[in-house]
Each structure stands twice: as structure tokens, then as C-alpha cells.
Amino acid sequence: MSAHHSATTASPVEAAIAATKTSGAGALIGYLPVGFPDLQTSIDAAIALAENGVDVIELGLPYSDPVMDGPVIQEATEVARAAGFRLRDGFTAVRAITERTDVPIVLMTYWNPVMQYGVERFADDLVAAGGAGLITPDLIPDEAAEWLAASERTGLDRVFLAAPTSSDERLRQAVEVCRGFVYAVSTMGITGARQDVDSAARTLVARLRDAGATSACVGLGISTAEQVAEVLEYADGAIVGSALVKALADGGVSGVARVAAALAEGTRRTK
């Protein structure tokens, strides 16, 4: 099963994204790191996302060397690590959030922590906690044999990145192996709010469609409801990270709830 076989997929993430297209313009996917500013607040904040229009929760596991992340997420994950974040807190958070909401949760994690935990063990513990899958920013399908096998066995979703610079062949491979959605990197760069979401995203999603993608979500640089609406003109979901993390840092759980609700305005069908 893969992101181009939506009719037969059992992926809760793909189903959640598909459902938003009958009720609205597409999905809002919200990112927050586990353990920021502390474990309980990060759990409450994720639930606030779910209660304010976020369709899929992306929970980041803080890591010492986050090369895909910009300053806002770097700072938040450094706070979480300084406060004693442990990998097992990720499963605690997933369990606590799934107890209070049906919105599916994917973990966003760099690869070394999973490798050290043990890929099979990590997959089993994620299933047991009620998680739906993994987004792996520094793992390409070419290096992912162990994870492909573990996700096949457990049915977990696996989300790999597609970039404007990826060849057609690599896009086909991404569509083939992704389950849940393909993460289309909107622009060349790292996480962080931007003025304009690149037109490169529109072209990339069109190329992913040509490669057979039925579930493609755009991330990096999206921070306003207008940008969400613009992305949902051509993509199945819009992924927001730094803007939510900043809202949580500045305004706590109620602050992040407000920003999530405002972003969700962008998912309403306008035409």
C-alpha cells in the first residue's frame, strides 16, 4: 500500500486527510515538539490543536542535531532537552493525546534515535501507544530498508520527503513508498515562517500528482490562514510548524489554540 492507493489504504492519516476534502478544502497538519515547554504542557497543547481544527498532529522528538530545523524549533527542542526530555516521553505523549482525541498522530524524528532504540522495538512501542506513523526528515527511502520492513509488519504510516530538486525517478519512489502522505518540501530550506510560500511547491505537487500521488501535503514556511488556503488549492494538506511553536512559546496553550483556530480558517472551502 502506498500514498497512491487511497481506495485500499488502511492508513488513518490518509483517511483523515481524505475526509477533509469532502468537508472542506483539505487538511491542516500541526507540528509541536514533545516536552516543550514541559511534557504535560506539550500534551495539552497538542490536544488544543485537535480541538481547534487541526486534522493530523505531528509530534516532534527533540534531537541534538536537527539539521532540517530553523531557529524557532531549534530553540524549543533545546529547551525540552535541557528540561530532561527522554525518547520514551514521546510514547507517553502519544498515549495521553490519543486518550483524549481521535485525531491521528505521527511522530517526526531524526533517524539516529530510532536506530538506537531499535527500529522494530520503536515501531512496536509506537503502535502500542496509539501512534499512526513516522515522518523521517533525514532518512531517504534508499537507506530505509529496516524501517520499510518494520512499517510493513506493523502497518504504521511512513512519510518521506519530496523536494523541488528531486528527480522524477525519486518522486516516483517517494510516492511508491510513502503511506499516509508525501511530505512536499515547499521551498529549498529549513523550517521557519516565510513571507511567501514558494511557487516551487505548486510545481512540486503537480509533479507528485504525475507520479501518482493522491495524498501530498506541503510543509515549510506556512504561517497564515491565507497561505494554508493557497496551498490547499493544489495540495491535500498544509503543514504548519514554527508558527505554532512560536504561539505556544509566546502565549501558552490558549495562545496556540487561538493560532490553530485562525489557521484552520484557511481550510474552509471558499469556492
Partner 1 sequence: MSLRSETGPYFGDFGGRFVPEPLIAALDELTEAWELAKADPEFLAELDELNRNYIGRPSLITEVPRFAEHAGGARIILKREDLNHTGSHKINNVLGQAILTKRIGKTRIIAETGAGQHGVATATAAALFGMECVIYMGEVDTERQALNVARMRLLGAEVVSVKTGSRTLKDANNDALRDWVTNVETTNYIFGTVAGPHPFPSLVRDLQKIIGEEARQQVLDLTGKLPDAVAACVGGGSNAIGIFHAFLDDSAVGLYGFEAAGDGADTPRHAATITKGRPGVLHGARSMLLQDEDGQTIESHSISAGLDYPGVGPEHSWLASIGRASYRPITDAQAMDAFRLLSRTEGIIPAIESSHALAGALELGKELGPDAVILVNLSGRGDKDMETAGRYFHLIDENAVQS
Q: Which of 69, 157, 230, 236 is catalytic?
A: 69
| 3-state helix, strand and coil shares in percent for the chain, rounded to the nearest 5 | 50, 15, 35
Distance CA 254, CA 147 (A): 37
Cell of 68: 532540517
Interface stretch with partner 1, choices 44-52, 164-172, 223-231, 263-271 (CB under 8 A): 164-172
Q: Is the dihedral of CA 243, 246, 248, 251 positive or negative?
A: negative
Residue of the chain from 47, 57, 174, 217 that contacts partner 1 (CB under 8 A): 174
Interface stretch with partner 1, choices 19-27, 36-44, 149-157, 163-171 (CB under 8 A): 163-171
Q: Is 82 in the site for partner 1 (CB under 8 A)?
A: no
- Residue 25's nearest CA partner among 184, 228, 260 is 228
* Per-residue mark of binding to partner 1, 118-137 (x: CB under 8 A): -------------------x
At closest approach, how far in Å is the CB of 249 from partner 1? 16
- Quick check: is 198 catalytic? no
Q: In which order are the strands placed within the sheet that holds 133-135?
A: 157-159, 133-135, 105-108, 56-60, 27-33, 237-240, 216-219, 182-185, 161-162
Whose Cβ is closer to partner 1: residue 175's or residue 259's?
175
- Quick check: is 230 catalytic? no
At closest approach, how far in Å is the CB of 121 from partner 1? 13
DSSP 5-30: -TTT---HHHHHHHHHHHHSS-EEEE
Q: Is 190 in the site for partner 1 (CB under 8 A)?
A: yes
Distance CA 163, CA 267 (A): 24
Q: Is 31 in the site for partner 1 (CB under 8 A)?
A: no
Interface stretch with partner 1, choices 5-13, 42-50, 125-133, 155-163 (CB under 8 A): 155-163
Q: Is 147 in the site for partner 1 (CB under 8 A)?
A: no
Q: Is 112 in the site for partner 1 (CB under 8 A)?
A: yes
Residue of the chain from 7, 22, 65, 271 that contacts partner 1 (CB under 8 A): 65
Name residues whose C-beta falls within 8 Å of residue 60's C-beta, 6 or more positions apart in sequence. Answer: 31, 32, 33, 34, 73, 77, 107, 108, 109, 241
Residues annotated as catalytic are 58, 69
Binding site for partner 1 (CB under 8 A): 63-68, 70, 74, 78, 81, 86-87, 111-117, 137-140, 142-143, 160-167, 170, 174, 185, 188-190
